[in-house]
Amino acid sequence: MHFLRFLLLSLALLSPASSSLHSMNLNLARPWSIKGSPPQNPNLSFFCAESPNFIFEQNPRKVRIYCQVNVKAISMSWSLHLNQIRKEFRTGKAEPLPANLFLIDIDTRDLPPGFYDLRIAVDTGLKEPEEGVCTFGIDPTEMPMSKTRPDDFSRFWETALDQSAEIPLDPRIEDTPRVFTAEQIDAYNRESANLPARYDPGGIVYDKVESYKISFKGPEGKRVYGWLAKPVGDGPFPAMLVLPGAGFAARPRPLEHARHGYVALDIQIHGQDVDLENYEKLAGYYKRDQVYDPVEANYFHNVYLRAQRAVDLLASRPDVLPGKLAAVGGSQGGRLSVIVAALDPRVTAIVSCIANSGNEPHLRWEEDLNEAKTTPIPGTDPIEMFTPPSGLETARGQCVAYYDPMNFAPDVECPVLMNAGLIDPISPAYSVWGIYNRLGTDDKEIVPLAGLGHDWSAEFDRLAWRWLDEQFQLRH
């Protein structure tokens, strides 16, 4: 599922021009690439025998981590950090073992619930050390989080939805439907959708799909464009809304989703066309001249409503099975999948991958601490941890509280499958778990991707396809 296409999202918050990833979470309109995203270091491999996914549901009192160094190593030093905080609060030397293997024992008795980065530096005899990081979580569902959901949050978005609904949807097919065979889908994935060919052969249901450009009117009356793909035939089929990662870029046709049996719609959430050669970077997006007052003037107001209007489009189609509509995406798309499920109960399952911009108060707290010149941690060892400030003291904080996916999460009542790259600097672990912890549904699962950054996992995609089969009671 290309909803995982969150790989390049790592650039998204830093560069508004970047795009999202593939299948359930990536969705990039570019050739397939095997390059991983920072801060992965192929010369370093971390392993924890007690918990291979590096998540401890109860404080183990000691965490033992091995690091295999795949270059000639002399010695290794380490430092321990709060997740994504540059300043360390503990340091030490790793125990060297034969075969360039090192052992690090971390006393965790005084560590409160949350995520921690273990950063290592390997002396190889060269001027610059070989550096790497692994992240582990302790009782992540119990970590402290600020409560910032405004009292009028529900009323604010109900009003916005009512105003958006007054505009006729006016769906249009913008070009001639095109049929793709199995071989053509494979070629398209490799050349234009940043996907390998047939990475999930067991989930393929149809060898032929058709695809065309579609459009509808958005919340402000301007047209929203997308690629629709579906199995050849009248259906009805389950539906899938594929939501893009960050940036201004072309969108790929969701052919992989269609051959898995879905009427799939991949939209351009900025109101731009889906196949332009050059894209204008619009003001107000992420850190680009954002507007915080009035709240409804924020850039993401219409982004969220455009995504919800896409649910209107899919639900109105006669070839869509009622009650079987999934929202999927990675990075910004993972964020938007939570948003649309909260805004529209017709979304009956979501797969949210490396969701970004959740737990906004903690994101800003991290940013402030990393910019501070003094030690940001109040105390050294043991750590005196505290709940990050709410951020509501500023106009930005008061506004963003209406757009933080963590504040939408309590309204999500459908089944949810999420993942998180534990070393992901774009969608940090604490940020993704901030959304997960607040979900209103008990039917939820999160998959930690230990050692991965802002990246796609073929096996998670396969897991997600099977999970959706179960949710929608599909035959394969």
Active site positions, annotated:
331, 424, 454
Cα angle for residues 250, 253, 259 (degrees, 5° grid): 160
- Which of 416, 430, 431, 419 is CA-nearest to residue 455? 419
How many C-beta atoms lie closer than 10 Å to residue 229's C-beta?
Answer: 27
Rounded to a whole number of angstroms, the CA Rg of the chain reads 22
Residue 298: Cβ-neighbour burial (10 angstroms; 0-12, 13-18, 19+): buried
Q: DSSP secondary-structure letter at 387?
A: P
Q: Report the alpha-carbon distance of residue 355 to residue 363 in Å, rounded.
A: 13
Q: CA separation (Å) from 380 to 59, 108, 109, 112?
A: 19, 13, 14, 13
Q: Report the alpha-carbon distance of residue 8 to residue 12 in Å, rounded.
A: 7
Which runs of consecutive H residues, i.e. helices, occur in 82-148?
none
Q: Can the peptide bond before residue 39 be classed as cis, meaning omega within 30 degrees of 0?
A: yes
Phi, psi of 116 (to 5 degrees): -135, 140
The partner residues of 199 in beta bridges, in order of sequence, read none
Q: Report the alpha-carbon distance of residue 268 to residue 260 in Å, rounded.
A: 22
Helix 153-165, helix 299-315: angle, nearest 10: 60
Residue given tokens 């409804």 in the structure block:
296
